[in-house]
A and B are shown apart, each in its own frame.
Chain A
């Protein structure tokens, strides 16, 4: 079967853009992606749009043109962008369409996400007693993981240190100043063992990807960035998830593990074949645990991998080359698509100061979100 290709990419810088709505940032990204692909709005046959807190994506037809196109809105927690991309590639794979758009944008208020119990089918007392705080869950997850697999707190600090260092070279990143490891480790604690630099922040931004059938991509004379796999999965029994008044004693797998295994199966390659990876890093432990959950190393090996610099840009598996969520922040609807944007940048050798050396041919992206959803993509050039 012929592949679905990504033929154009666009991004509105992440961070804080006062005076510009989330949707406007999405429109900005779409225009950039269309220019990159050399196509017009009137050429596009369909769109899938993701936004969690910035309004319905399909309203952007008002700005881009009332062509009557099919435009479907996607809301799927932190996997929203990945789900939009998954749906867009299915629309082409089905043979129904050969040129379309996956777009994601968001704009969140400052500070921690303000979740209400009813949105998660939880009783009110759970929020009243102070448990509707995502950072608690992430901290407890890594605390147990450190205990089980011997990960040190210094390793937790090395992840954001790398993120901020990589982001210096990423125009679309938000936090682009290097921060010393010592400052990261000694910064005020948010939720032990995490200091403030070890969590990403809610942010703003927009990303757009133009997808085409292989035939269409060739017609347009575009370089062939093939989407070899796009998977989205929910959690299996025994996974440990955010906002859980109780969790099973018998521990199990995770949505990430099954989304990842399925993506590798579809692409017909293994973790050892991946040359650059963007892994969900909403907090530093997430990047560490997701290295293992996505099959790149065994639980506990991260301590050695990170000490040896294997996840640095010049390492054997560069991870989060644009600084990831830690440096870009997390506009939920756009975040998963940013990872794919960055992978296309890397595969096209457009990375400048953050370019992975040696002309990478394969790239991997992974998002994870509440309450146990994950989306993975594998790209090949």
Chain B
């Protein structure tokens, strides 16, 4: 199972997300923009949950490419210390247990957990949680 797009994850294990650092200003963003202004910048693997919500309906396709079957999912922004806040799925936590300020770590999850040939997307889970 490969990533949903090239250039999102480093090749190491466990992987990190690849952001971009602006050479002139030092600003860090995710994902790394095309062009010469930003250099690839592997992001921290852990951070703090800044805000969140629960997606309660299946998004329209296109552009959504997930499975037809829908279960609500949590998503939020995780603040990576002095780097940036990354928008991400939140996994391995019950939706009612999600709280601002939780310590989170990066994982990869399949976009369709039922399919054998799905693609991997980024997600964060509470530090030390497991599937």
Q: Could you list which residues of chain A lie within 8 angstroms of chain B, going by C-beta atoms?
A: 111-112, 114-117, 123-133, 136, 139-141, 143-144, 147, 188-193, 244-249
Known: A244-B87, A246-B86, A247-B84. A127 touches B64 (CB 8 A): yes
Bound-state CA distance A140–B89 (Å) is: 13
What are 19 residue pairs bridging A and B, where the CB atoms are less than 8 Å apart in the complex?
Answer: A116-B62, A125-B5, A127-B65, A129-B64, A129-B66, A129-B121, A130-B59, A133-B55, A140-B53, A140-B75, A141-B51, A189-B56, A191-B55, A191-B56, A245-B30, A246-B84, A246-B86, A249-B82, A249-B84
Task: Choose among B52, B53, B82, B87 the residue that contacts A246 (Cβ–Cβ < 8 A).
Answer: B87
Per the 8 Å Cβ criterion, residues 49-63 of B in contact with A are 50-57, 59-60, 62-63
Q: Could you list which residues of chain B lie within 8 angstroms of chain A, going by C-beta atoms?
A: 4-5, 8, 19, 27, 29-31, 50-57, 59-60, 62-66, 73, 75-77, 79-87, 89, 95, 100, 111, 121
Determine the chain B residues whose CB is within 8 A of the CB of A249 once the complex forms. Answer: 79-85
Determine the chain B residues whose CB is within 8 A of the CB of A129 once the complex forms. Answer: 4, 64-66, 89, 111, 121
Q: Nearest CB to that of B123 among chain A residues?
A: A129
Number of A-B contacts (CB under 8 A): 108
User: Could you tell me if A190 and B57 are in contact, using CB atoms closer than 8 angstroms?
Assistant: yes
Instruction: Tell me how far the C-beta of B112 lies from the nearest C-beta in chain A, rounded to whole angstroms.
Output: 11
Q: Nearest CB to that of A244 among chain B residues?
A: B87
Q: Nearest CB to that of A116 among chain B residues?
A: B63
Bound-state CA distance A247–B86 (Å) is: 7
Task: Choose among A126, A132, A140 the residue that contacts B52 (Cβ–Cβ < 8 A).
Answer: A140
Bound-state CA distance A189–B72 (Å) is: 11
User: Could you tell me if B31 and A128 are in contact, using CB atoms closer than 8 angstroms?
Assistant: no
User: Could you tell me if A189 and B54 are in contact, using CB atoms closer than 8 angstroms?
Assistant: yes
Determine the chain A residues whose CB is within 8 A of the CB of B50 once the complex forms. Answer: 144
Determine the chain A residues whose CB is within 8 A of the CB of B55 once the complex forms. Answer: 130, 133, 136, 191
User: Could you tell me if B84 and A147 are in contact, using CB atoms closer than 8 angstroms?
Assistant: no
User: Could you tell me if A143 and B63 are in contact, using CB atoms closer than 8 angstroms?
Assistant: no
Task: Choose among B5, B29, B56 the residue that contacts A123 (Cβ–Cβ < 8 A).
Answer: B5
Q: Nearest CB to that of B95 among chain A residues?
A: A192
Determine the chain B residues whose CB is within 8 A of the CB of A139 once the complex forms. Answer: 53
User: Could you tell me if A130 and B30 are in contact, using CB atoms closer than 8 angstroms?
Assistant: no
Instruction: Tell me how far the C-beta of A282 lies from the nearest C-beta in chain B, rounded to whole angstroms.
Output: 15
Bound-state CA distance A116–B60 (Å) is: 10
Bound-state CA distance A138–B91 (Å) is: 21
Report which residue of B30, B59, B76, B81 has the largest number of chain A beta carbons within 10 angstroms of its beta carbon.
Answer: B59
Determine the chain B residues whose CB is within 8 A of the CB of A111 once the complex forms. Answer: 60
Report which residue of A129, A147, A247 has the largest number of chain B beta carbons within 10 angstroms of its beta carbon.
Answer: A129
Determine the chain B residues whose CB is within 8 A of the CB of A114 once the complex forms. Answer: 60
User: Could you tell me if B64 and A246 are in contact, using CB atoms closer than 8 angstroms?
Assistant: no
Report which residue of A127, A140, A245 has the largest number of chain B beta carbons within 10 angstroms of its beta carbon.
Answer: A245
Task: Choose among A125, A133, A144 the residue that contacts B51 (Cβ–Cβ < 8 A).
Answer: A144
User: Could you tell me if A133 and B59 are in contact, using CB atoms closer than 8 angstroms?
Assistant: yes
Known: A139-B53, A143-B100. A246 touches B63 (CB 8 A): no
User: Could you tell me if B87 and A245 are in contact, using CB atoms closer than 8 angstroms?
Assistant: yes
User: Could you tell me if B85 and A248 are in contact, using CB atoms closer than 8 angstroms?
Assistant: yes
Determine the chain A residues whose CB is within 8 A of the CB of B52 once the complex forms. Answer: 140, 143
Q: Nearest CB to that of B83 among chain A residues?
A: A249
User: Could you tell me if B85 and A246 are in contact, using CB atoms closer than 8 angstroms?
Assistant: yes
User: Could you tell me if B19 and A246 are in contact, using CB atoms closer than 8 angstroms?
Assistant: yes
Determine the chain B residues whose CB is within 8 A of the CB of A126 once the complex forms. Answer: 63
Bound-state CA distance A129–B61 (Å) is: 11
Instruction: Tell me how far the C-beta of A370 lies from the nearest C-beta in chain B, rounded to whole angstroms.
Output: 15
What would 17 more interface pairs be, CB under 8 Å, given A123-B5, A190-B57, A245-B31?
A: A111-B60, A127-B63, A128-B4, A129-B4, A129-B64, A129-B121, A130-B55, A130-B66, A130-B73, A132-B59, A133-B59, A143-B52, A191-B55, A246-B84, A246-B86, A246-B87, A249-B84
